[in-house]
Amino acid sequence: MYLKALEIQGFKSFADKTRLSFEKDITAIVGPNGSGKSNISDAILWVMGEQRSKALRGSKMEDVIFGGTEKRGALGYAQVSLIIDNSAHIFDSDQSEIMLTRRYYRSGESEYYINKEAVRLKDINSLLMDTGLGRDGYSIIGQGRIAEIVSSRSTDRRDVFEEAAGISR
């Protein structure tokens, strides 16, 4: 699976619209502590439907919205889009690219889109199921995640294997 690009706006430390294009080779993101590297993987998890604030290193969902700095006021919503190559038709769609978008307002309202068409969270989950991506997938391995998998209950571990085997649907 090839993640082509990520667009972030108003999400955590990314106040301005930022587009990251990933080339075919490995992409490494480097930067000083606290510069926002982990916020990028949080954005990927989030756009794929993550609902647990803790998994996004926050205490409530509002924490994902840019909260302002000394020089700049807080923003009213966060938006992330993930563009995935679908030329091999991994996803059940005729489109050669799939763009997932999630928007979240301070009022607590959520919006999800697939290729700019409004959908439900359920549709995002269903699209990503059995692809290895998704909020319960194993495609993002953060600090402490390996220990979590190894020490998890056997039923939870089974979910990881089922997703890897492509039979969770």
Binding site for ligand ATP (CB under 6 A): 12-13, 31, 33-39, 63, 65-67
Using the minimum distance from each CB to ligand ATP, give the nearer residue, 35 or 93.
35
Using the minimum distance from each CB to ligand ATP, give the nearer residue, 16 or 156.
16
> Which of 128, 138, 127, 126 has the alpha carbon at shortest distance from 164?
138
Shortest Å, Cβ 31 to ligand ATP: 5
Shortest Å, Cβ 37 to ligand ATP: 3
The secondary structure element, H or E, covering residue 83 is strand 77-85
Using the minimum distance from each CB to ligand ATP, give the nearer residue, 47 or 65.
65
Shortest Å, Cβ 103 to ligand ATP: 15
Q: Residue holding tokens 């919205």?
A: 65
Using the minimum distance from each CB to ligand ATP, give the nearer residue, 142 or 166.
142
Shortest Å, Cβ 90 to ligand ATP: 29
Using the minimum distance from each CB to ligand ATP, give the nearer residue, 31 or 108.
31
Please check whether residue 85 is in contact with residue 96, taking contact to mean a CB–CB distance below 8 angstroms. yes
- The torsion region of residue 10 among left (phi > 0), alpha (psi -120 to 50) and beta comes to left
Distances in Å between the alpha carbon of 164 and those of 2, 53, 73, 133, 167?
Answer: 17, 24, 43, 10, 8
Q: Which residues contact 147 (CB under 8 A, 6 or more apart)?
A: none
Shortest Å, Cβ 5 to ligand ATP: 19
